[in-house]
């Protein structure tokens, strides 16, 4: 029959009239969010291994980090991690890619900030992480260094006291020995350098000493010429 639909429609609206309202009273009442809701991206510094998978998987270049390579280990050291959140489109690719689960979305959706800079979040390396490392790695290095330093100091003293004897081991001609010892007395830096090299690497010390001598000779020649003119 014609018009049946109209009555049906009226019935539907009447039914809804008596149903409970579905309006969420945010911000008076916080909405209930699904478990997989993507709110704010969070980063856990301690877990990150600086592999860069997240940076490569992000389509919007939201993520970036800075690393430092320490001399005595192959591991990269993460210095800072930056999330420029304004470009994020909540695609979840970074979270899926991360092998260490350092990235995840929390339920905080109130993301507006007063200034554009506030939305960019920089995570700096927490101080505790470095303290731990120092506790096991750094002291050994220090001991070695201080030993060497002592040797160098001793060598320097010996050089200043009696240069001819030590230099004779490296240089053949008397004249050269004389020049170098004069040079060392007038310039402490040269002496320090030669002392350090003598402790660490004797062959190299000989070469450098020879180099110093030839250089000094040239200088003197030039000075003589200059005087004549």
Partner 1 sequence: MEHLFTNLATALTGWMITLGLSPVWADVILLLVKWIIIITIITLNIIILIWLERKVSAFFQERLGPNRLGPFGIFQTIADAIKLLTKEDIVPSAADKLIFKTAPMFFIVVAVMLYTVIPMGQGMEVINLNIGLLFFISMGSLSTIALLMAGWGSDNKWSLMGAVRSVAQMISYEIPLAFSLLGVVMISGSLNLQDIVAAQDNIWFVILQPIAFLTYFIAATAELNRGPFDMPEAEQELTGGAYTEYTGMRWALFFLAEYTNLVAVSALMATVFLGGWQGPWLPSWLWIIIKTYGVILVFFWVKWTFPRIRMDHLMSFSWKVLVPVSLGNILLTGAGIYFCQWMGWC
| Binding residues for partner 1 (CB under 8 A) | 6, 9-10, 12-14, 16-17, 19-23, 25
Which residue, 53, 47, 180, is CA-closest to 123? 47
Q: Given the structure tokens 């000493």, which residue do they identify? A: 209
Span from 47-55, 134-142, 168-176, 181-189 in contact with ligand SF4 (CB under 6 A)? 47-55
Angle at which helices 202-228 and 188-200 pack, to 10 degrees?
A: 160
Taking the complex as a whole, how short is the minimal distance between the CB of residue 94 and ligand SF4, in angstroms? 3
Nearer Cβ to partner 1 (6/135): 6
192 binds, among partner 1, ligand SF4, none (CB under 5 to 8 A by kind): none
Per-residue mark of binding to ligand SF4, 194-213 (x: CB under 6 A): --------------------
Query: SS3 of 196, please?
Result: helix
**Does residue 40 bind ligand SF4 (CB under 6 A)?**
no
Interacting residues of 62 by C-beta distance below 8 A, sequence separation 6+: 41, 83, 84, 85, 87, 88, 94
Q: Does 102 bind ligand SF4 (CB under 6 A)?
A: yes
Closest by CA to 46, choosing from 123, 148, 141, 135, is 123
Q: For the CB of residue 1, give the shortest distance to partner 1 in the complex, in Å.
A: 14
């Amino acid at each position: 029959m014609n018009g049946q639909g109209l009555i049906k429609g009226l019935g539907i609206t009447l039914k809804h009239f008596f149903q409970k309202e579905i309006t969420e009273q945010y911000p008076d009442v916080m909405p209930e969010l699904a478990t997989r809701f993507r709110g704010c991206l969070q980063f856990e510094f301690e877990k990150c291994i600086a592999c860069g998978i997240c940076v490569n998987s992000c389509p919007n270049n939201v993520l970036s980090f800075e690393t430092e390579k320490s001399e005595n280990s192959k591991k990269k050291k993460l210095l800072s991690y930056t999330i420029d959140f304004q470009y994020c489109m909540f695609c979840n690719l970074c979270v899926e890619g991360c092998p260490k689960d350092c990235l995840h979305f929390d339920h905080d959706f109130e993301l507006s900030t007063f200034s554009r800079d506030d939305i960019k979040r920089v995570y700096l390396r927490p101080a505790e992480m470095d303290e731990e490392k120092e506790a096991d790695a750094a002291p050994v290095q220090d001991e070695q260094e201080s030993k060497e330093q002592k040797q160098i100091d001793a060598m320097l003293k010996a050089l200043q006291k009696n240069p001819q004897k030590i230099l004779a081991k490296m240089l053949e001609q008397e004249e050269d020995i004389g020049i170098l010892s004069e040079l060392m007395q007038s310039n402490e830096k040269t002496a320090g350098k030669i002392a350090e090299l003598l402790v660490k690497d004797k062959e190299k010390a000989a070469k450098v000493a020879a180099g110093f001598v030839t250089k000094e000779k040239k200088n003197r020649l030039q000075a003589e010429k200059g005087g004549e003119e």
